Amino acid sequence: MKLKQYISNFYNIILRDSDRKPVFIIFYEIFLLLLKDKTFPVHYFSRGLYKKGSSGIFNYVNNKILYSLNAYFNDLSQEYYLDNKLIFHLYFELWQFPLPRLLAFQNKNMYHFKGKQLFIDTFEDFNRFINNLLEISDTGAVFMKCARGSYGGKNIFMLREEDTGNDDKIHKLFELSCKLDFIFEDKLIQHEGMNKINPNSINTLRIDTFWPKDGLPEIISTNMRMGLGNSYVDNISSGGCGIGIDKNTGQLFEKASTSMSVAGGDYYAQHPLSGLVFKGYTIPCFEEAKQLVLNAARCLPFFRLIGWDVAITKDGPVLIEGNTDYDITSADKYQKGYRNNQVFRKVLQEYKILKKNKKRS
């Protein structure tokens, strides 16, 4: 976001926020961060540091550093392992990881379904294919996900049995499938403990891992994303919210927040739909979820910094996807500043060395 937009947000949003700090304190803290980081601290707004009660402004990491980490710690030439959902699924299936049930996948007009290849180039054939998918579904619902480029919940669609009569919806999906490649997964049955938070969406854990040079992968932090209303996706950019989790106890922090794109978003002490109070609520199967991503990280030695998405089902944790170029700024916010995180300090220490060496070369 451009500086001009932040100035506009300051006048139109922050100054009108009854929960903000005094203006002179805001300017003073911005000045201190500017001196420290030698760059305008846009994170001061997105992390909600301008609000009353927020403290530890030096504990947070500026966006300029966070956005540059991927290129230093991950081999970008290998990104297809994570960027392509089909490759991701097939790769981790070989390692026998728990994954969503893959029903079919497609490349343009060629569909792979039940061990056979189907050539589908008409709406009628596509509609018949969708009906066949729903017939073999264990849950009566199928997720159609773009194999690449579905960041933020984009190009992810859920199909139910009642949609088979919706020609407009099916026709739009057919037209989209002629342009993009998709995978088709059975809907997961979420753990009852996660349904208590919001039963309408799969409320996923985002667990960040770092692989230091002198050891095995470690967990940096654990956070959770959830839908706020009736949406079946939990992505922050699609209207969901996120909250930090104590990585040692598996308990939620006190407040969740929505999008950080403007100025910190809205804050919730309890879920607006279910009414569940966040503070102290324990995530089920938490230790198993942490071990799952640590095992997964060891399978990808060319990626040292990964954000993993994990769903908690009735049968335990399931690996949804891994991300290298992910929204690590959210983790910085939910964890109340990554400079306080012992594992992330290792990232920063090595980042400084790698950056210095790059300048020399």
Query: Cα 189 to the chain's mean position, in Å?
Result: 19
pLDDT of residue 262: 54
User: Which pLDDT score, from 0 to 100, does residue 231 have?
Assistant: 56
Domains and CATH numbers, the chain: 3-60 (no CATH), 70-84+91-98+191-350 (3.30.470.20), 102-186 (no CATH)
Segment 140-179, tens digit of pLDDT: 999 999 998 766 667 899 999 888 878 899 999 999 999 9
Max Cα–Cα distance, the chain, nearest Å: 68
pLDDT at 111: 97
Q: How is residue 222 written in tokens?
A: 């654990």
pLDDT of residue 235: 46
pLDDT score recorded for residue 263: 59
Closest CA to 121 of 174, 50, 62: 174
> What distance lies between CA 49 and its chain's CA centroid?
22
Given a cut of 50, the residues of the chain with pLDDT beneath it are 234-238
pLDDT at 93: 97
pLDDT for the residue 12: 79
Tell me how far the alpha carbon of residue 59 is from its chain's centroid. Answer: 22
Model pLDDT for residues 189-246, shown as the tens digit of each residue: 999 999 999 998 899 999 999 999 999 999 999 999 998 866 555 444 445 889 999 9
Angle of CA points 56, 304, 258, to nearest 5°: 45
Burial class (CB in 10 A: 0-12, 13-18, 19+), 300: buried
Helix axes 63-73 and 342-360, enclosed angle (nearest 10): 70
Burial degree of 118 (CB within 10 A; 0-12, 13-18, 19+): middle
